[in-house]
Amino acid sequence: MGFARFVGLRFLRPKRRSLFLSVISIIAITGVAVGVATLIVVLAVITGFQEDMTNKILGAYSHMLVLSHHSRIENWPEVVETIQGTPDVLAASPFVYGEGMASTGNHAAGVIVRGIDPNTAGNVTSIGDSIDRGSLDMLSGPQEVIAPLGENTEKETLPGVILGRELAASLRVFVGEKIQLINPMGEIGPMGVLPKAQPFVVVGLFKSGLYEFDAKFAFIHLEQAQSFFGTGDSISGLEVKIADIWKSDEVARKVEERLKWPFYAKDWMQMNRNLFSAIKLEKLVMYIILCIIIFVASLNIFTGLYMAVMDKKKSIAMLRSMGASARRVEHIVLIQGMFIGILGTIIGATLGVGICLIQIKYNLIPLDPRVYYIDTLPMKFKVLDFVIIFLASLGLSLVATLAPARIAGRLDVVKTLRYE
- Residue 130's identity, in one-letter code, is S
**Pair 307, 406: CB distance under 8 Å:** no
Give percent of the chain above pLDDT 90.
36
Burial bucket for residue 325 (CB in 10 Å: 0-12, 13-18, 19+): exposed
Q: What is the largest CA-CA distance in the chain?
A: 113
> What integer pLDDT is reported at residue 414 of this predicted model?
61
**Pair 305, 404: CB distance under 8 Å:** yes
> What integer pLDDT is reported at residue 129 of this predicted model?
87
> What integer pLDDT is reported at residue 218 of this predicted model?
95
For residue range 38-52, list pLDDT tens digits in order.
889 988 998 898 888
3-state secondary structure of 195: strand
Beta-ladder partners of 204? 162
pLDDT classification of 9: cutoffs 50, 70, 90: low
> What integer pLDDT is reported at residue 12 of this predicted model?
53
pLDDT classification of 10: cutoffs 50, 70, 90: low
Residues in the chain: 420
Residue 294 neighbours by CB distance under 10 Å: 26
pTM of the model: 0.79
Q: How far apart are CA 237 and CA 253, in angstroms?
A: 17
Range name among 120-134, 172-186, 247-261, 285-299 with the lowest pLDDT average: 285-299
For residue range 179-236, list pLDDT tens digits in order.
999 998 766 666 666 788 999 999 999 988 888 899 999 999 999 999 999 888 999 9
**Pair 35, 297: CB distance under 8 Å:** yes
Q: What is the 3-state secondary structure (H, E, C) of 332-343?
A: HHHHHHHHHHHH
* Most confident of the ranges 4-13, 159-168, 307-316, 368-377: 159-168
State the helix-helix crossing angle for 273-311 and 19-60, rounded to 10 degrees. 170
Q: To 10 degrees, the CA torsion angle through 386, 392, 398, 400?
A: -120
pLDDT classification of 112: cutoffs 50, 70, 90: very high
* Most confident of the ranges 20-24, 164-168, 292-296, 320-324: 164-168
In this structure, what are the phi and psi dihedrals at residue 74, rounded to the nearest 5 degrees? Answer: -85, -60
For residue range 310-343, list pLDDT tens digits in order.
777 777 777 667 776 778 778 877 888 888 888 8
Give CA separation, 66 vs 2, 69, 121, 234, 266, in Å: 66, 10, 15, 14, 7
Q: Is the pLDDT of residue 150 over 60?
A: no
Give CA separation, 398 vs 139, 302, 325, in Å: 65, 10, 21
pLDDT classification of 100: cutoffs 50, 70, 90: very high
If we measure between CA atoms, which residue out of 199, 109, 124, 192 comes closest to residue 158? Answer: 199
Q: Is the pLDDT of residue 405 over 90?
A: no
> What integer pLDDT is reported at residue 132 of this predicted model?
81
> What integer pLDDT is reported at residue 57 of this predicted model?
86
> What integer pLDDT is reported at residue 190 of this predicted model?
63
> What integer pLDDT is reported at residue 151 of this predicted model?
57
Residue 315 neighbours by CB distance under 10 Å: 16
Give CA separation, 224 vs 108, 118, 119, 253, 419, in Å: 21, 12, 15, 32, 98
Average pLDDT, the chain: 84
Q: Quick check: bond before 199 cis, omega within 30?
A: no
**Pair 170, 100: CB distance under 8 Å:** no
Sign of the torsion formed by the C-alpha atoms of 383, 387, 390 and 393: negative
State the helix-helix crossing angle for 273-311 and 383-409, rounded to 10 degrees. 30
Mean pLDDT computed over 389-394: 88
- Residue 53's identity, in one-letter code, is M
pLDDT classification of 85: cutoffs 50, 70, 90: very high
First to last CA, the chain: 30
Beta strands in 86-155 (DSSP E): 89-104, 107-116, 131-133, 143-144
Q: Is the pLDDT of residue 99 over 60?
A: yes
**Pair 345, 397: CB distance under 8 Å:** yes
